[in-house]
Structure 1
């Protein structure tokens, strides 16, 4: 098999790893509410949902390690703790959302099932598949992803040429920032940290023994292919969401909007068919999250299989409890966790792309520490009335927009590097 074909195969595998059916409900709603500003929303969304995940993969290509290695320059304990937090967010929020999306798109419109019944049956099946690992999920993922992509591209293409009324005005005051923050909900940057380590381990299985430079080349090229695919789908869904924003009520839910867009372009049968495919894709995503989390905790406990079973069972229990809630509730709940974990994740991604000269352990600790500290006001505004935080917003740039950590982290990076340089010069002079 030639190198180009191998790179494309790996690129499609990476695409499938990022392609969560739950993510598909986010872009149309951004376009729907963005209206004529859809392109600004798209730019913000693409930065956090494609560019930063791509940088995470490039960081893995450079590190040739695991997610724990991303944080080990702060400390090994921090790397482990950060990884645990990422997996906890995955099983408490990302995984249950797949059940909620399945219920609202594929169950509720056609059957008289309660959401608790759906999540209970759904995660009972997830547990069975997670415990009895086999090739069924690989088979489903291999064929499901291309089918869903083709259907989405058909929806986008038909939607682009279907007549519609003039767009309603956008609902966002800051469409660019809104798009960026909504990209957090895809969990793609977190997925980049998780998937990247797996990709590094699997590159040799696909393309044989390579030196470090060749591994980096393969990962970079494959990652660009994968993220380009996501780019096309995200932009297309945002655009048609904006184009038809006069067709639906303002309070339409995200899953209902995607289903309705499918009905406009493909008819009711096409909408139902997409709903079934999305439900199965959500299920494969849920199994992958549970298996990945269980594997991680199994590794922490010296490959103890009992730890794997307990983690899988607890993950599915959380899935049943949280997955019975509406998608909107789970997304709103996720904001609290994501406003903490994303500043840390983005900081680690950026720092791991740099050479040791500019990203020493001291720089890591200062930048990550500041990112964490100044993300606290961004988090608090979802718990405390904004009026009580005005004094913080007045002194922290961009904090009103949920990005109060950015400037302190950048300043900390510059000052930390200046400090390290001075210390190195002093040591050089003394010697």
Structure 2
């Protein structure tokens, strides 16, 4: 009984770490555009927003270390640079997005203030909490997540049983691929790297059991968290599709979630949801900047100055980026995600398979391949050209922004075949 209780408690804690409130605006809008193709986009979205992140937790269960351990087989320098990039992306994109979501869902509907004013006040408060760690946020997190989940399940349940009379056709040409790429925007694969390490530390502090027992605990807790994410994400995609004929095509992601709340729970319920999501966004922003500041503090021999400077930089970036619309932040995140996600996915997958198939040589070869073949994906967004299009046409799946997949798989097979027939070359 205690073992089951530990699994559930750890699983719910992990779920709440993944449960970035900003992510909730993505699935309904995806369903809204998919219409009758909602099932295909759900499959794609679940692959990158649920399956890959949970595999990341399973990899953490095997490693029981930090994010650094994911890339150490490539090289020490690579792993350090990778960690810095992940944290940098987190404070530049998902952290400010929480302020933008807060403005569009909880401030703009009631006040006519600017996004800059919201982001300024928001990140001043974030900085104060980052510099003065408090259990208030932990308590908020414990109570906020269950309440938001209850409200979301109510919205999903009611919306499913009162669908619109008609459904607009799909606006997506490649629903499965669009689901996969939209899943990037949750940042959940990156979150798996970060929160998995936090989970390991917490378990080690409160659990003196063996490595194998802790591995089972983390593995099963990851499955619990994955089921929770799957239910919420799938439900939100479904109701977005069922009610896509009731809202204008110009509706934004936050507006759609609020509109669905209004339709199912009335204006009072939707207002409560928007306030709770704003609070949850705030705890997420504090968590991201605190975690990033902790990392750089450790990188510079536990320097308090490094912690403070990182917190200042993170908060200033939050003010600058958080004033923009959610849609704009999502759009400018695409190149960064096209760059970091393939490498992240490869690191997660290589750390989940048996070690005999994931030697240092395989790690280096496959990661380098994924990096090289992901370059056209983010270059065509930053600087499209006819020459680049010719390269993209040549690479399998590159037209779907997935050009790294097949070359990485081939490199994995080639290097393992090479090591199998040349055992002396194994690392």
TM-score (norm 2): 0.98
Partner of 1:377: 376
| CA distance in structure 2 between the partners assigned to 1:161 and 1:388 by the alignment | 51
Partner of 1:306: 305
Q: State the 1:310 CA deviation.
A: 0.6
| CA distance in structure 1 between the partners assigned to 2:109 and 2:424 by the alignment | 68
Partner of 2:184: 184
Partner of 1:120: 120
| CA distance in structure 1 between the partners assigned to 2:193 and 2:282 by the alignment | 22
Q: State the 1:395 CA deviation.
A: 1.3
Once the two structures are overlaid, the 10-residue window that deviates more, 415-424 or 317-326, is: 415-424
| CA distance in structure 1 between the partners assigned to 2:101 and 2:386 by the alignment | 35
Partner of 1:216: 215
Partner of 2:224: 225
Deviations 1:180-208, CA, capped at 9 Å, x for gaps: 110000000101111111212221334x2
Q: State the 1:105 CA deviation.
A: 0.6
- Tell me, what secondary structure is at the counterpart of 2:86? helix
> How many residues matched?
426
What does 1:1-400 align with in structure 2 at a 5 Å threshold? 2-206=2-206, 208-385=207-384, 387-400=386-399
Structure 1: tracts of 5 or more residues without a match: none
Structure 2: tracts of 5 or more residues without a match: none
Deviations 1:235-292, CA, capped at 9 Å, x for gaps: 0000000001001111111000000000000111111111101111100000000100
| CA distance in structure 2 between the partners assigned to 1:305 and 1:262 by the alignment | 44
Q: 1:69 to 1:392 in 2, by over 3 A?
A: same
Q: State the 1:6 CA deviation.
A: 1.2
Q: State the 1:391 CA deviation.
A: 1.2
Deviations 1:9-48, CA, capped at 9 Å, x for gaps: 1111000000000000000000000000000000100010
- Tell me, what secondary structure is at the counterpart of 1:172? coil
- Tell me, what secondary structure is at the counterpart of 2:381? coil
Q: 1:399 to 1:163 in 2, by over 3 A?
A: closer
Does the 8 A contact of 2:119 with 2:322 survive in 1? yes
Q: 1:341 to 1:163 in 2, by over 3 A?
A: closer
| CA distance in structure 2 between the partners assigned to 1:21 and 1:340 by the alignment | 24
| CA distance in structure 2 between the partners assigned to 1:395 and 1:234 by the alignment | 35
| CA distance in structure 2 between the partners assigned to 1:295 and 1:385 by the alignment | 38
Q: State the 1:387 CA deviation.
A: 3.9
TM-score (norm 1): 0.97
| CA distance in structure 2 between the partners assigned to 1:221 and 1:135 by the alignment | 27
Does the 8 A contact of 2:163 with 2:242 survive in 1? no
Does the 8 A contact of 2:419 with 2:425 survive in 1? no
